[in-house]
Amino acid sequence: MSSWYEASARQRIDALADPDSFEEFIGPEEREVSPHLALFDLPEQFDDGIVVGRARLSGQPVLVAAQEGRFMGGAFGEVHGAKLTGLLRAARTLRCPVLILFDTGGVRLQEANAGEMAIAEIMREIVLARADDIPVVGLIGGRAGCFGGGGLIAGCCSTLVISEHGRLSVTGPEVIETNRGADEFDSKDRALVWRVTGGKHRYLIGGADLFVEDDVAAFRRAAIEGLSRRAALDILTLADEQKRLEHRLKRFGAMTEPRDVWAALGVLRPETVSGLATEAFLAEGLHKRENAHDAR
């Protein structure tokens, strides 16, 4: 077993793609660095924290983007974001599915306005691609999680794969604590952070579709499955998602503790969920969870 969480962006692509099938677009040798970090005396990275290109997955051509959470928290800057925007535009021209390997804290603050725009543009391109029936599959299990605008982009994907380590949220616990105090969200309480934002909770409420072990081979299998699932985004998809999200509010809206949500789902001994190994967790959760049934 080899950990997805511990792997770098490039290692994840290597593990995911068929051997020797990956071809990078605007690789580090081109040194397309951020034009804005120098203003803050911050070091640049030659790929600006994202690797994009073309590969084959189980023989099928795919476009792949992998964020590097170890460079500035995988945050979206101007160049970083534009590489993904371009990749999604190419997906439509080539009618080729896309895999997004999320590992991001959201917008890169030193170039916040460009990062915010990149996120809006990426969401638009995903909707356009999916309106053309092109799958855009998101994989979440990296160190930086998937926060801020990354969480909104994830919410636009046709299928989401997540591991227990894969945190998915908008506002990060630290930011909530800074703005609202530790009574609202104690970011030092790691167990609470994992319960609220972690992969198991997202899977149980229907916020993610496939739950996998923190293992590159498991992510690869799930990516292949994700590509075969329904991708189209149309009016009916959105009407179904509306129903799904209204239902969630009605069912869980009065709760603030994930364990109460899990208990309401009928999960046995909710207090043990965080400690369950993948197989045991799936055995307990698979048929009790809120399944999104492609309504996303």
Partner 1 sequence: MTLDEILGSLFPEGHHVDIGESILIGGAKLPQAGQLHVLGVHVKSFLGVEDACALARHAVDVLASGDGQPILLLVDSASQRMTRRDEMLGLNEYLAHLAKTLILAGIRGHRVIALLYGGSAAGAFIATALAADTLIALPGAHPEVMDLPSMARVTKLPITVLEEKAKATPIFAPGLDNLAQTGAVFETWSPDVPLDAQLREVLARPAVAGSRDALGAQRKGRPKAAAIAARIVELAQRSA
- How far is residue 137's CA from residue 210's CA, in Å, rounded to a whole number? 11
Alpha carbons 119 and 126: distance in angstroms, whole number: 11
Interaction of residue 131 with partner 1, rule CB under 8 A: yes
How far apart are CB 143 and partner 1 at their closest, in Å? 18
Helix (H, G, I), strand (E, B) or coil at 145: coil
From CA 138, how far away is CA 162, in angstroms rounded? Answer: 8
Which letter, b or e, does each residue of 75-96 get, where b requires 16 or more Cβ atoms within 10 Å of its Cβ?
Answer: bbbbbbbbbbbbbbebbbeeeb
| Nearer of residues 40 and 46 to partner 1, judged by Cβ | 40
Residues 8-67 touching partner 1, rule: CB under 8 A, are: 23, 25-26, 32, 35-36, 39-40, 52, 54, 61, 63
Helices 190-197, 173-180: crossing angle, 10 deg rounding: 110
Query: Does 94 participate in binding partner 1 (rule CB under 8 A)?
Result: yes
82 versus 223: smaller Cβ distance to partner 1 = 82
Q: Which is nearer to partner 1, 98 or 227 (CB)?
A: 98
Per-residue mark of binding to partner 1, 56-85 (x: CB under 8 A): -----x-x--------------xx-xxx-x
Among 117, 232, 264, 276, binds partner 1 (CB under 8 A): 117
Q: Is 169 in the site for partner 1 (CB under 8 A)?
A: yes
Burial of 20 (0-12, 13-18, 19+ CB in 10 A): exposed
| Complete edge-to-edge strand list for the sheet that includes strand 50-57 | 23-24, 50-57, 60-67, 98-102, 136-140, 159-163, 210-212
Q: From the list 56, 70, 221, 248, which residue makes contact with partner 1 (rule: CB under 8 A)?
A: 248
The residue behind tokens 């084959």 is 56
Binding to partner 1 by residue 245, rule CB under 8 A?
A: yes
Q: Does 201 bind partner 1 (CB under 8 A)?
A: yes
CB of 279 to partner 1, least distance (A): 25
State in angstroms the smallest separation of the CB of 2 from partner 1. Answer: 28
Q: What are phi and psi of 6, to 5 degrees?
A: -80, -20
Cβ closest to partner 1, residue 32 vs residue 133: 32
Q: How far apart are CA 185 and CA 203, in angstroms?
A: 21
Using the rule CB under 8 A, which residue among 99, 231, 261, 273 binds partner 1? Answer: 261
Looking at the Cβ atoms of 170 and 224, the one nearer to partner 1 is: 170
